[in-house]
Chains A and B, each alone.
Chain A
Amino acid sequence: MATGAFWKKHENLYFALTNPKVIIGLSLFLLMILLAILGPMLTPYQYDDFAGAGYQPPSREHFFGTTIMGKDVFTRVALGLRSTILVGFIAGTVATLIGCIIGFLAGYYGGKFIDELLMMGTNIFLVIPSLALLIILSAYLQYRGIVVMSLIVAITAWPWTARAVRSQTLSIKNQEYVNLSRISALNLFRILKEDIAANMFSYVFMVYILQFSGTILAAVGLEFIGLGPTEGISLGLVIKNAFDWNAIQLGLWWWAILPGLVLTTLVVALYFINTGLDQVFNPRLREL
């Protein structure tokens, strides 16, 4: 049967799509994407519109209630989620790329000078507290758009990826087919791409998911302490706004807590996907 052959060929995909954790994670993730895309269309309000009375708890008119000033929290969250996902996408991609390039090179030249040098740089970045570094980097740039924000976050997010990719590369590079490529004088780029990266695809993909959620958390943290994008909107700014207006002390939980709950749901979804895929790629974890 054609479908049977297809699943045989893409065995991992089959295990992934039948893994309950991946299913839960993917559904939650899609839900969040839908919220980001369709959410703003469900309400007639814009980000800064006065939507009605202030201090309103969640109701049919205002799904997430209103702020002190009477702005619709749901609209703000949905719009903020868009840019937050965008930051995760850009920063996660950049951080994964930097980490992979450094990790591949260091691993491929394992033990040589270039490896020592790259790993020393990585270890230094790993130890310097990234949040403190982020605070300082962002304070430097007085005008920060979303892309600049993402790049700032990516600069501090790559080190653990570089280390993890390096150790994976170290274990692959002594395989015979890599030696064969080396003997046949294949250039470095092709060896890294075809022999090493291709065999680590599943691993790098999982790293990417973790980077995606990690950079989102870092960006939102920056936004919360007031060093987010200078223009535009984001989930962190919504939470910061609530915090600055003492929403907690005033008991406006829908304003202070719900935006963060959406954020946490997004991160949990990614985490579920990641652990599910871990079980798919490492059968030893599948047993329980």
Chain B
Amino acid sequence: MGKYLSKKLIIYLITFFVAVTIDWAIPRFMPGEPIGMLLARFQGMEGGREILESQFVQAFGLDQPLIEQYFSFWKSLFSGDLGISIYAFPKPVMTIIREAIIFDIVILVPAILLSWVVGNKLGAYSGINKKADNLMMPFFYFLTSSPYFWFAMVIAFVFGVRIGWFPINSAYGSTIRPGLTLSFILSFLHHWFLPFLTMFLVQLGGWAIGMRNMILYERSANYARYMESLGASDRLIRSYGFRNGVLPQVTGLALRLSGIIGGALMTQIVFAYPGLGFIMLRAIMNHDYFLIQGTFLFIVILVLVANFLVDIAYMVIDPRVRYSYSGEVS
């Protein structure tokens, strides 16, 4: 059991290492001298050039050899120093990310969990009910094929503009001060609902289709036929099929995480929801390399942590993984 997790952990550590290396390379190997370009852009600002130049020399260590720059990047990374944002000037990148990542989590966690559970239930139901199957499946195909950003636009148009029930901009009202007040929480939920709904619905289709196919497979498996011949109830056979079908769905969750988080970035852009995706887009448009570095790194960390949680869940659900790695069953 420890062996299974440690094997996974090693993969994630290597991935993290690769990601940090890519991250380090972003501003250094970009064509067209991004740093020179930035300096030129801030030339008009009073003392701007000096501030930036000192910041760059200090942060990038541009006067040092590459290998030393690389090590000092790791060092500053572990001390939580990701530099200072350029477009939100004296704000440290770390602060911006800390404020933004909350908005990713409040959308992602409920959307992923709920759509997984609801999708599996609906899929299992349509696997045993032909009428429901014919009715729901085209809808699910449609959902799973829609690009996140387009679906977000449809939702925004229908619920935000045509019916006008929900706001489609930002994470809370512009006149409300963030805090633990009732009006803030209500405004937050009001803005939260549409991005959440988008993420929930687009994922729903994939889980339902996956579970439906698993149920069909399991129903024609030998054990199901055998149980049927023994006179077991349909309900019992179905529940066994469901339990078997859940496993590949958990693996599927791990495989899809990076796509889901990519979709969340798109959804945030449509709703101007200030999570990491929205920040990253802003950073790219403003050539804010510190912020690009920071957001990329934290998106990777988000995916890695989520993957690890799925691995743990898989281990809890599937006893075979536990046994095969602890030597109880050879």
Chain A residue numbers with a CB within 8 Å of B303 are 127-129
Complex contact B30–A271 (CB within 8 A): no
The smallest beta-carbon distance between A275 and chain B, in angstroms, is 8
The smallest beta-carbon distance between B224 and chain A, in angstroms, is 11
B323 near A: Cβ within 8 Å? Answer: no
The smallest beta-carbon distance between A22 and chain B, in angstroms, is 13
Given the known inter-chain contacts A126-B258, A260-B147, A272-B141, please indicate yes or no for A140 contacting B31, CB distance below 8 A: yes
In the complex, chain B residues 239-293 whose Cβ is within 8 Å of any chain A Cβ: 255, 258-259, 261-262, 265-266, 269-270, 280-281, 284-285, 292
**Bound state CA distance, A288 and B218, in angstroms?**
13
Of the listed stretches B15-23, B62-70, B91-99, B314-322, chain A binds B15-23
Of the listed stretches A103-111, A182-190, A220-228, chain B binds A220-228
Chain A residue numbers with a CB within 8 Å of B281 are 225-226
How many A-B pairs have beta carbons closer than 8 Å: the answer is 146
Given the known inter-chain contacts A129-B258, A140-B31, A248-B161, please indicate yes or no for A221 contacting B296, CB distance below 8 A: no
Of the listed stretches A61-69, A130-138, A169-177, chain B binds A130-138
Chain A residue numbers with a CB within 8 Å of B187 are none
In the complex, chain A residues 2-59 whose Cβ is within 8 Å of any chain B Cβ: none
Binary contact track A215-243/B, C-beta < 8 Å → 1, others 0: 00100110011110000000000010001
Of the listed stretches A74-82, A91-99, A197-205, A249-257, chain B binds A249-257
The smallest beta-carbon distance between B280 and chain A, in angstroms, is 7
Of the listed stretches B38-46, B48-56, B149-157, B227-235, chain A binds B149-157
Complex contact A129–B141 (CB within 8 A): no
A179 near B: Cβ within 8 Å? Answer: no
**Bound state CA distance, A141 and B292, in angstroms?**
16
The smallest beta-carbon distance between A43 and chain B, in angstroms, is 23
Chain B residue numbers with a CB within 8 Å of A239 are 149-150, 153
A side interface size, CB within 8 A: 49
Chain B residue numbers with a CB within 8 Å of A268 are 141-142, 145
Complex contact B15–A123 (CB within 8 A): yes
Complex contact B258–A128 (CB within 8 A): yes
In the complex, chain B residues 295-330 whose Cβ is within 8 Å of any chain A Cβ: 295-296, 299-300, 303-304, 307
B217 near A: Cβ within 8 Å? Answer: yes
Chain B residue numbers with a CB within 8 Å of A256 are 153, 157
B14 near A: Cβ within 8 Å? Answer: yes
Complex contact A288–B262 (CB within 8 A): no
The smallest beta-carbon distance between B275 and chain A, in angstroms, is 13
A-B pairs with lowest CB-CB distance, top 7: A131-B262, A260-B150, A267-B145, A129-B258, A268-B145, A124-B15, A132-B299
